[in-house]
Amino acid sequence: MKSLQARLGASLALGITCLWLIASVVSGLVISHELGEAADSALRVTAQQLLAITRQAPPLAGDRPSAATSTRPASADAAAYLPGNESAVRPEQLHELAEIYSLLGFAIRDVDGRVLHSGGSLPDALLEARPAGGFNVIEGHRVYVESSADQQRWILIAEPSHHRDEINHGAIRVLLLILPFLVPLSLLLVWWMVRRSMRSVTEVQQQIESRGGNDLSALQTADMPRELAPIAESVNQLLARLARTLESERNFTTNSAHELRTPIASALAQTQRQIASLPDGAERLRARRIEQTLQELSRTCEKLMQLARAESGSMVGDETCNVFPVIDYLLGEFNSVLREESRLQLQCPNEERFETVLDFDGMAILLRNLIDNALKYSKPGTPVIVRLDSAANRISVCNQGACVPPEELAQLKARFKRGSGAQGGAAMGAGLGLAIAETIARQAGIVIELHSPARGRRDGFEASLSTR
C-alpha cells in the first residue's frame, strides 16, 4: 500500500530538485548573458578609449608584424601612448592598458585600411579582416568594430571567446557544486517537514488503527488541523450512524424474537392445555399434531433468529477472552434439560480455557448448534463428548453413531442441508445448525472441521473448533 507521507516526501523532493536544476540552468544562462553584455560593454568602452587615446597620436609601427604592417606608418608620438612608450601616458592608464593588452588585441586603421596602431594578442586573420561595424564572432574571438567620430579611423578590438567561457563555466561550476550538498539537505528538510505536517494525520490513523472493527466510539477531534477536522467529523457522523443502525438491527432482532416467540408460546401452551382436556381419540391426535407443528415452527424460528444474529456480525468483539464459563454454563443447561447427565460429558485435560473474540452469546449459539446436532444424530444413550484442549485452543464435539458419507459431509455446512441420520426419533432439523455455526465461526476466525468417523474412532461424527 502506498504511503501518503512517502509519496508526498518523494514528490516534494523531486520537485525541489527539478526546480533547483532548472534554476541553475536559467541562472547559468542569465549569468552568461549578463557577463557577455558586461564584457561587450567593456570591449566597446576600451575601443572608444583606444580611439580617443590614439586620436592625436601619429601612426606607430606595431610591435608585431602583420599583413598590413608594410602599410602601417610609424609615429613616435603615438608610441608615447602605447606599450613601449609608457612615459607619455598617466600611470593609472598604464596599469589599465597593461591589463587590457594581456587579454585583448586591437588594430586601428585609417579609411584606406592601413593599420595605424595595433597591440595585444590579435591573430593574423583578424589583422586582415574587414568586418562590419558592431559585435561579431570571428576565429574564436569576440570582435568589436567602431569608427571614430570623424569617420577617418576605425578600430577592431577582439577578445578571445575562451576567456568568457572560462568565466561562465566558473559561475556554472559554483552553482553545480552546491547541488550535491543542497539536494540531500533539502530532501532531509522535506522529509522532516512532511513528517511533522503528517503528524496529525498519523494520529488520526493511529486512533483508527488502535480500535477494532467493533469500536464505534467517536474519534478525538480536539487540536486537529482545520483540514483534517471535517474528515474526522464526517467519520464520526458515519460511525454514529453505523452504531445507530447496528443498535436498531439488534433491537429489531430482539423485538422480532419477542414478537415471534410469544404468540408461538401462547399457541403451544393453549394447544397443550387443549390436549390435557381432551379424551383419547381423533381430536386429541389432531391437537397433538398441531402441538408438533408448533414445536417445529418454534425450532425454525429460533434457527432463523440465530442466523440473523450470526449474519449481523454483532457477536464478534475486539479482544479475545476466555469463554469457558459460557461453555460450562451451556453444558449445565443441556444436562438439566436432558435429565440424563451422563450423556453430555466435558473432558478438559488441561486448563479450562478457550480463547476467542466471540462474545458469550455467539459462543453459546455456535456450541449449542454443534451439541444439538451431536445429540440428534447419535445412538440413544451413548455419550456425547465435548473435549476442550486449551493448549491447542480447540474444542471438539464428538458422538457415537453411523458414519456420515464423505459426499454428505462435504455439504453439511450448506444452508438447509439436513443430515440423514437423526436417531431415536429425534425431530428433523431445519438444516441450519451447521450453517449458523459456520457463519459465526468464520466471522470470529474460527475454523470448523468435520470428521466422520470421529478421530480415533471407527464410527461417529466430530466437529472441532480451532482458532486460526
Partner 1 sequence: MRILLVEDNQPLGDAVREQMLGDGHATDLMPSLAEARACLGTTAYDLILLDMMLPDGKGITLLQHLRQREDRTPVIILTALDQISDRIAGLNAGADDYLVKPFDLAELSARVGAVARRYTGNPNPTLQVGELTIDLNKRVVKRHERSIDLTPREWALLDALLQRLDATVSKSRLESCLYDFGTEVESNTVEVHISRLRKKIGREQIQTVRGIGYRIASAHPS
Instruction: Tell me which residues touch partner 1 (CB under 8 A).
Output: 254, 257-258, 260-270, 272-273, 276, 294-295, 298, 302, 305, 326, 329-330, 333, 337, 359-361, 364
Quick one: 173 or 258, whose CB is closer to partner 1? 258
- For partner 1, which is the closer residue by CB, 134 or 263? 263
Nearer Cβ to partner 1 (109/303): 303
**Is residue 424 left, alpha or beta, with left meaning phi > 0 and alpha meaning psi from -120 to 50?**
left
Min dist. Cβ of residue 370 to partner 1 (A): 15
Q: Which is nearer to partner 1, 183 or 297 (CB)?
A: 297
Sign of CA dihedral 306, 310, 311, 315: positive
5: burial class by Cβ within 10 Å (0-12, 13-18, 19+)? middle
Find the shortest distance in angstroms from Cβ 262 to partner 1. 5
Query: Shortest distance, CB of residue 297 to partner 1, whole angstroms?
Result: 9
DSSP letter, residue 136? E
> Measured between alpha carbons, how far is 114 from 352 in angstroms, rounded to an integer?
120
Tell me if 450 sits within 8 A of 438, measured CB to CB: no
Q: Rounded to the nearest whole angstrom, what is the least distance from the CB of residue 271 to partner 1 in the complex?
A: 9
CA distance 81 to 94: 9
Least distance (Å) between residue 255 CB and partner 1: 9
Task: Using CB atoms within 10 Å of the CB of residue 405, give its burial: 0 to 12 exposed, 13 to 18 middle, 19+ buried.
Answer: exposed
- Residue closer to partner 1 (CB basis): 173 or 273: 273
8 Å CB contact between 216 and 246 = yes
Q: Which is nearer to partner 1, 337 or 391 (CB)?
A: 337
Specify the residue, 171 or 268, whose C-beta has the smaller distance to partner 1: 268
CB of 334 to partner 1, least distance (A): 12
Residue type (1 letter), 315: M
Which cell numbers in the block locate residue 216?
464505534
Residue 387 CB neighbour total at 10 angstroms: 16
CB of 257 to partner 1, least distance (A): 6
Which residues, including other chains, have CB under 8 Å from residue 456's CB and lie 6 or more apart? Answer: none
The phi, psi pair for 392, rounded to 5°, reads -95, 0
C-alpha dihedral sign at 243, 244, 246, 251: positive
Q: Minimum Å distance from CB 381 to partner 1? A: 21
Which of residues 156 and 364 has its CB atom nearest to partner 1 in the complex?
Answer: 364
Contact between residue 143 and residue 158 where contact means Cβ atoms under 8 Å apart = yes
Closest separation in Å from C-beta 359 to partner 1 = 7
Under a CB-based contact definition with an 8 Å cutoff, are residues 318 and 208 in contact?
Answer: no
User: Which helix (H) or strand (E) element contains residue 402?
Assistant: none
The set of residues, in sequence order, having a beta carbon less than 8 Å from that of 103 and lying 6+ positions away, is 120, 159, 160, 163
* CB-nearer residue toward partner 1: 189 or 269: 269
